[in-house]
Amino acid sequence: MAKKTVVDIMKKKAAGEKIIMLTAYEFIFASLLSSCGVDMILVGDSLASIFAGHENTLPATVDEMIYHTKAVVKGAGDSMVITDMPFMSYHIDLSDAKRNAGRVIKETGAQAVKLEGGGELVLDVIAGLTQIGIPVVAHLGLTPQTIHQMGGYKGQGRGDAAQKLLDDAKRVQDAGAFSLLLECVPVELAKEVTK
């Protein structure tokens, strides 16, 4: 059975169909999600909290993401697998980001990586990764890798921050992200971004 691809996801979006993405960290749950018709399975850096009991996602490492993603890929059936790039794995420079993302894709069989934020550094990384053939899912709103800067796990995109989130969504799309994960933003703002 053929894996779902970026092209398949884009066709669903163009047709106005719902796209289902859920998170898994291991083989059995990935198998269950795939059997239910999930389009995309995200291997989240939240595994730092879920599996290791850390207070937040920051301790997740590239090696841990690779280990869990390998297991998910084996169980994912035709679902597309996306792997979170953990904190500081793409923040130093573009060369470091390419090396880490390339390693994740090559060693796991995942079809895409996910990056948090919409600042200039992240935009450069999105463009750089897509130029070498690594599809990118962008992540805006509540971005757990910036938890200390945000002051905790709080809803985002309210008031004046709504326009910035809209602008960032356009910028990550223009940089080459094929998909956008929105977390903890108002429903009306999410609808506007989706348009």
Helices (H), 76-186: 94-108, 120-131, 147-150, 161-175
Of residues 177, 140, 176, the one with CA closest to residue 161: 140
CB-based contacts of 79, cutoff 8 Å, min separation 6: 3, 4, 30, 33, 34, 38, 39, 40, 41
Say which DSSP state 106 is in.
Answer: H
Active-site option among 17, 183, 188, 192:
183
Q: Is 183 tagged catalytic? A: yes
From CA 72, how far away is CA 94, in angstroms rounded?
A: 27
**Across 97-126, average pLDDT:** 97
Per-residue confidence band for 160, with pLDDT thresholds at 50, 70 and 90: confident
From CA 23, how far away is CA 35, in angstroms rounded?
A: 14
Question: What pLDDT digit, counting tens, does each position of 17-29 carry?
Answer: 999 999 999 999 9
| 5 contacts 111 by C-beta, under 8 angstroms | yes
The predicted model scores a pTM of 0.95
Question: What pLDDT digit, counting tens, does each position of 55-84 carry?
Answer: 999 999 999 999 999 999 999 999 999 999
